[in-house]
Chain A
């Protein structure tokens, strides 16, 4: 089983749609959770951290469920510029912090 697994993509949605991505992780000792965005041929960039209480940043809402070991990302009112790959990222301490990426979910937002 992969350490971090994401919804298979791609997701094709029209502008203005709401889209949700899920991600599960296998290591119950995981401590930190993030969503990164990666544009084609660019490096991943931090989109938002994910907190146990859930958090929102504009059109983006992230949730964490430690009991079920999954995190989610909700994008409301999708824009063309949201088209990218969204990577679920989990960090845990193995005597040195280790950051593991999910395979990513590709999102295409169309006019």
Chain B
């Protein structure tokens, strides 16, 4: 059974139209991450939550926001998607502590038209 669940699997949005991607977890992990992965590139960390503490990467555009209303859920909001934001968005979770590997959801593939 999937323990990190991302919805939807595929999302098509219009240029400039706000879109929200969701992630939920049943692992009770305290750290949740959002990554952006473009074709043939490594996943790039956008931001992560350590419990309720939000940690933004310095080079993450302001266009990307996140919310974590509770331990289980985390959302990625793209306020005004551009063509360059088309990518796979991966949610991952991990438990605090040394040696704790991250578990990934299946990802949401975003297309901007």
* Interface, chain A (partner B; CB < 8 A): 31-32, 34, 41-46, 49, 87, 89, 91, 94-104
Tell me if A49 and B48 are in contact (CB < 8 A): no
Measured CB to CB, the closest approach of chain A to B102, in angstroms, equals 5
B90 touches A96 (CB 8 A): no
Taking the complex as formed, is B45 at the interface, i.e. its CB lies under 8 A from any CB of chain A? yes
In the complex the two chains form, is A44's CB within 8 Å of B43's CB?
Answer: yes
Q: List 16 A-B contacts (CB under 8 A).
A: A31-B99, A34-B101, A43-B90, A44-B43, A45-B104, A49-B101, A87-B43, A91-B100, A91-B102, A95-B53, A95-B55, A96-B53, A97-B31, A98-B55, A99-B102, A101-B42
Q: For residue B102, which residues in chain A have a CB less than 8 angstroms away from its CB?
A: 46, 89, 91, 99
- A91-B100, A96-B31, A97-B96 known; A102+B42 contact, CB < 8 A: yes
- A75 CA / B103 CA spacing, docked (Å): 23
How far apart sit A45 and B101, CA to CA, in the bound complex (Å)? Answer: 10
A97 touches B101 (CB 8 A): no
Q: Closest residue to B55 on the A side, CB-wise?
A: A96
Contact indicator B105/A96 (Cβ below 8 Å): no
Known: A96-B53, A100-B45. A43 touches B105 (CB 8 A): yes
Q: Which residue of A lies closest to B91 (CB)?
A: A43
Q: How large is the interface on B (under 10, 10 to 19, 20 to 34, 35 or more residues)?
A: 20 to 34
| Complex-state Cα separation, A31 to B94, whole angstroms | 14
Which residues from chain A contact B90 at a C-beta distance below 8 Å?
Answer: 43-44
Distance, CA A46 to CA B104, complexed state (A): 9
A44 pairs with B104, CB closer than 8 A: yes
Residues of chain A within 8 A of B53, CB atoms compared: 95-96
A49: contacting residue among B45, B99, B106, CB under 8 A: B99
Q: A31-B98, A32-B99, A101-B43 are in contact. Are A96 and B48 (CB under 8 A)?
A: yes
